[in-house]
Amino acid sequence: MNIERLFIRSFLAVLLSATAVSGVHAGDSIDIDDLRARVQSLKEEAERLQDENQGLRNMLKEEQQDDIYLVVDTENNRLTMRRGNTVMLTAKVGTGSRQSVKEETGRNWLFESPYGSLTVLGKERNPVWIRPDWSYVEENMPVPPPNDPDRIVRDVLGKYALILGNGYKIHGTKYTELLGTHFTHGCISVGDADLEVLYKTVKIGTKVYIY
């Protein structure tokens, strides 16, 4: 074989093997030092974000409270007792009728449950109902003086009551067939069995969210 052919064959062999080893890469034009620097910068950014996110997670965890709270859905007349995402009790309730009563003197009352965030301010056994003025107006009866003993009515609010303030309570009812409807004058009426669970579980200071 002449030296010329040998040279050409060697040259082609070198050409082929060099191409096989190096390949043709899309990133071949990127300087590897630049690439290393970019990756390092991205690693640092990812670490920074991870640290920030952990900080936020801790902050949110601290603000979250793990205690029991009550939620009253006035549209569907349901009360749930919850601890976070766990529902401990769902009860059919009665909520404000959204009716109104007007007195000749001009006073009027709208019977709506109090929306918003409330707190259990007290707990009662065998609560007594002190008839408010509207209950007389509603029945077209004369309104007695504030301390009239006639205003004291027993055994109409069930065995227990949770006091929410401003005259509102969560209490029992004789009208259990109306639970699940809007029939009260603003208070939240609950069936006996559910009321007992609430009374025994809920503490003073428990939050009540009514929407």
Partner 1 sequence: MGVIKISLFLPFLILFLAAVPVPADENEERAKLLEQEKQLNEKIESLKREQDFMLFEKMLYANDSKYLILYISDGKGELKYKGRVLRNFRLSSSKQDHRKIVQGAITLTKKIDGAQGPVSLVFGKSLVLRKKSSSAPAANPVPRVSLLHKDFTAVYYAVDQGAKAYIFP
What is the contact surface with partner 1 in residues (CB under 8 A)?
Answer: 2-4, 7-8, 11, 14-15, 18, 21-23, 25, 27-28, 30, 32, 35-36, 38-39, 42-43, 45-46, 49-50, 52-53, 56-57, 59-60, 63-65, 69, 71, 73-76, 82, 84-85, 117, 207, 209, 211
Judge whether 31 and 164 are in contact, CB under 8 Å. Answer: no
**Cβ at position 135, least distance to partner 1 in Å:** 27
H or E element in which residue 196 lies? helix 192-201
Of 184, 145, 191, residue with least CA distance to 168: 184
In terms of CB distance, is 40 or 108 closer to partner 1? 40
- Give every CB contact of residue 132 below 8 A, 6+ residues apart in sequence: 167
Q: The tokens of 211 are what?
A: 């929407």
**Cβ at position 160, least distance to partner 1 in Å:** 24
H or E element in which residue 160 lies? strand 160-165
**Cβ at position 125, least distance to partner 1 in Å:** 29
**Cβ at position 188, least distance to partner 1 in Å:** 15
In terms of CB distance, is 6 or 130 closer to partner 1? 6
In terms of CB distance, is 71 or 143 closer to partner 1? 71
Judge whether 166 and 199 are in contact, CB under 8 Å. Answer: no
Query: What are residue 116's DSSP bridge partners?
Result: 210
In terms of CB distance, is 93 or 137 closer to partner 1? 93
